[in-house]
């Protein structure tokens, strides 16, 4: 019999309305279980570990990621797969974080949640939970079909570090604009076998992050005060520069100089596009040529969410600046495409 571990962290799926304010607040796993009697009908052994204080995922921080990674690591040998119930707001960040923390996974870790609480009649939570369990339990002759960190939501399984929450209203809340779905779910579950990751070494947990990073988002009219203010944050080690189109910025000299000085002082800058789909190609336009010259790293087709988490992760691994730059340009967990046209 397959055995699975469900990790309940909170999120809308388990929320109820607070009686006086009407605001949604996280609730315990018991009410979730009461609303999904189907859980008892699975032919699997399913255990549950719940956060003592379930959270709205907007409150997630490093300690929660470490807790999730620890729970998976301690139980790694005892279960065939893991399902993490998590709020949707930061699920793309958390799935990215866990994907970097757990190196050489050979078992499925499926994040899911819902847009409507499980107690609501029209909830999307039941299907998301039930299918996530199916996927976490799915095996073929070579073992688990999925051996990586994914998000399952509204009939699609995505690589977690490729996702972006793009819709607050629809049940279809996530997209993976630069990477195909790993499974499409209808009457049958069709896996995209060619794209599924496989480990190439022993399973290792890496828990350290360094949060001395930030975003710098381009907008027409951005001022030296904003750029210099961000780049002079004490101790800053890394910046995810959110650029226009295929990696372009203003060519104003003050801007290029500010970036160049920051890079000379040791700050690493990664260029990520504000567009959801496509990739950064520094030098395609004159408006990104200077970035190549001063040493900004092109982020290819990585999402903004995965980019900031990857920086925090790499800075936490006691690597040299040259090594951090090297790994930022490479796919370490399938988070970017190395072979894209530039």
8 Å CB contact between 111 and 95: yes
Site stretch for ligand ASP (CB under 6 A), options 81-89, 186-194, 272-280, 325-333 = 81-89
Contacts of 7 (CB under 8 A, 6+ apart): 48, 49, 50, 68, 71, 72, 82, 83, 84, 85
8 Å CB contact between 250 and 218: yes
132 binds ligand ASP (CB under 6 A): no
Integer Cα distance of 254 and 40 in angstroms: 63
Place of tokens 């959270």: 55
CA 20 to chain centre: 34
282 binds ligand ASP (CB under 6 A): no
Find, among 339, 334, 335, 340, the residue nearest to 197 by Cα: 334
8 Å CB contact between 268 and 262: no
Specify the residue, 88 or 131, whose C-beta has the smaller distance to ligand ASP.
88
Counting residues that bind ligand ASP (by CB under 6 A) gives: 10
Considering only 8, 27, 29, 56, the residue that binds ligand ASP (CB under 6 A) is 56
Considering only 50, 57, 147, 243, the residue that binds ligand ASP (CB under 6 A) is 57
Site stretch for ligand ASP (CB under 6 A), options 55-63, 64-72, 134-142, 202-210 = 55-63
Binding pattern for the stretch 84-123 against ligand ASP, x by CB under 6 A and - elsewhere: ---xxx-----------------------x-x--------
298 binds ligand ASP (CB under 6 A): no
Residues catalogued as catalytic: 12
14 binds ligand ASP (CB under 6 A): no
Strand partners, 153: 156
Site residues (vs ligand ASP, CB under 6 A): 11-12, 56-58, 87-89, 113, 115
């Amino acid at each position: 019999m397959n055995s699975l571990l469900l990790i309940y962290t909170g999120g809308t799926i388990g929320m109820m309305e607070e009686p006086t304010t009407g605001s949604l607040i996280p609730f315990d796993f018991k009410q979730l279980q009461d609303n999904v009697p189907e859980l008892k009908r699975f032919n699997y052994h399913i255990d549950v570990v719940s956060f003592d204080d379930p959270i709205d995922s907007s409150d997630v921080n490093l300690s929660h990621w470490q807790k999730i990674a620890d729970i998976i690591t301690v139980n790694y040998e005892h279960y065939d797969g893991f399902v993490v119930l998590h709020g949707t707001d930061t699920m793309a960040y958390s799935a990215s974080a866990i994907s970097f923390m757990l190196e050489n996974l050979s078992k499925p870790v499926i994040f899911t949640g819902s847009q409507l609480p499980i107690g609501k009649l029209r909830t999307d939570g039941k299907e998301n939970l039930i299918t996530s369990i199916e996927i976490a339990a799915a095996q073929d002759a070579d073992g688990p079909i999925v051996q990586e960190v994914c998000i399952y939501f509204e009939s699609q399984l995505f690589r977690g570090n490729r996702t972006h929450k793009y819709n607050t209203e629809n049940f279809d809340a996530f997209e993976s604009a630069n990477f195909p779905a790993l499974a499409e779910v209808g009457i049958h579950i069709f896996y995209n076998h060619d794209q599924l990751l496989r480990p190439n070494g022993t399973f290792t947990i890496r828990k350290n992050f360094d949060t001395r990073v930030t975003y710098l988002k381009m907008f027409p009219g951005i001022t030296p005060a904003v750029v210099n203010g961000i780049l002079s944050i004490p101790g800053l080690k890394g910046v995810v520069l959110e650029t226009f189109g295929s990696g372009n910025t203003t060519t104003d000299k003050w801007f290029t100089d500010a970036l160049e000085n920051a890079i000379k002082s040791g700050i690493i800058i990664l260029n990520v596009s504000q567009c959801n789909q496509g990739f950064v190609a520094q030098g395609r336009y004159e408006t990104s040529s200077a970035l190549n010259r001063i040493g900004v790293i092109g982020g290819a087709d990585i999402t903004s969410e995965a980019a900031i988490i990857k920086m925090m992760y790499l800075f936490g691994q006691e690597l040299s600046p040259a090594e951090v730059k090297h790994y930022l340009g490479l796919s370490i967990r399938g988070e970017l495409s190395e072979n894209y046209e530039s």
